[in-house]
């Protein structure tokens, strides 16, 4: 016997994500979902961002990793609330994992929650976790073919950060191609060029983040 049904497969995830979003809004916490490939420099960017916004924005961090605690240790050295999720093999964070972690977070003492997703350019874009913006970090060392190879993440992100621009003179990478392909996929995409290592361009990014928090 045939039974017709129409069920969005990610319905359960999306329902929990909506709950997370409401909880964060009640506590007036802005949440960003930081996504990138492994090695793009998410943890360094986050570390420098937290230092730059010290005293201006109260930041908490949910650190997602397939395994290990190295990144969480780096961040907790900065004296901000941090909780770690080990996905045990899963390539992304989902709304349910975040929902559990929000119980551990002192939400009333925060302005901004940064969710550092698992390093992967495909899967994290698929799962809403209740964030108010997805931020994609791409290291220019990854090459200029990434937007067309992994379109979904570029389409779903509000901001694209091109990291490691201090290495541009040593690489055979066409940054304008990255920008124009990314803009074709997502005309509203906001792009920041920066080097988390030497601090170049960090100010613009931090100002954007601070403005986002203030306008919540």
Partner 1 sequence: MHELSIARNILELVDATCHEQGYSGVETVRVNVGKASGIMTDALVFAFNCAKDETLSVNATLEIHEIPVGGRCRECNSDFISQETIVLNCPRCGGAAFEITTGHELEIFELEVDG
Residues that bind partner 1 (CB under 8 A): 1-13, 90-92, 94, 122-123, 125-127, 148, 151-152, 181, 184-185, 187
Nearer to partner 1, 27 or 179 (CB): 179
Closer by beta carbon to partner 1, 123 or else 191: 123
Distance in Å, CB of 164 to partner 1, minimum: 25
CB of residue 171 vs partner 1: minimum separation in angstroms? 24
Secondary structure E strands in 71-189: 82-86, 112-116, 133-139, 159-163
* Cβ nearer to partner 1, comparing 16 with 105: 16
Note the residue count of the chain: 216
Pairing of strands 59-65, 30-36: unpaired
How far is it, in rounded angstroms, from Cα 92 to Cα 81?
21
Q: How near is the Cβ of 22 to partner 1 at its closest, in Å?
A: 22
Helices (H), 32-128: 42-52, 70-76, 95-102
CB of 165 to partner 1, least distance (A): 25
Residues 82 and 147: their CA atoms lie apart, in Å, by 31
């Amino acid at each position: 016997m045939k039974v017709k049904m129409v069920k969005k497969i990610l319905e359960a995830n999306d329902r929990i994500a909506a709950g997370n979003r409401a909880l964060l809004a009640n506590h007036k916490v802005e949440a960003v979902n930081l996504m990138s490939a492994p090695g793009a420099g998410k943890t360094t960017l986050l570390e420098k961002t937290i230092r730059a916004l010290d005293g201006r924005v109260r930041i908490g961090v949910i650190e997602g990793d397939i395994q290990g605690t190295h990144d969480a240790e780096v961040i907790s050295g900065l004296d901000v609330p941090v909780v770690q999720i080990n996905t045990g093999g899963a390539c992304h964070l989902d709304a349910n994992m975040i929902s559990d972690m929000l119980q551990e977070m002192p939400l009333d003492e925060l302005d901004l929650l940064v969710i550092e997703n698992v390093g992967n350019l495909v899967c994290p874009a698929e799962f809403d976790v209740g964030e108010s913006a997805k931020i994609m970090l791409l290291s220019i060392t990854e090459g200029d073919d990434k937007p067309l190879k992994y379109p979904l993440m570029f389409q779903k992100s509000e901001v694209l950060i091109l990291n490691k621009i201090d290495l541009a003179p040593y690489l055979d990478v066409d940054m304008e191609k990255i920008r124009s392909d990314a803009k074709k996929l997502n005309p509203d995409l906001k792009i920041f060029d920066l080097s988390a290592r030497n601090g170049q361009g960090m100010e613009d990014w931090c100002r954007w983040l601070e403005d986002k928090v203030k306008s919540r």
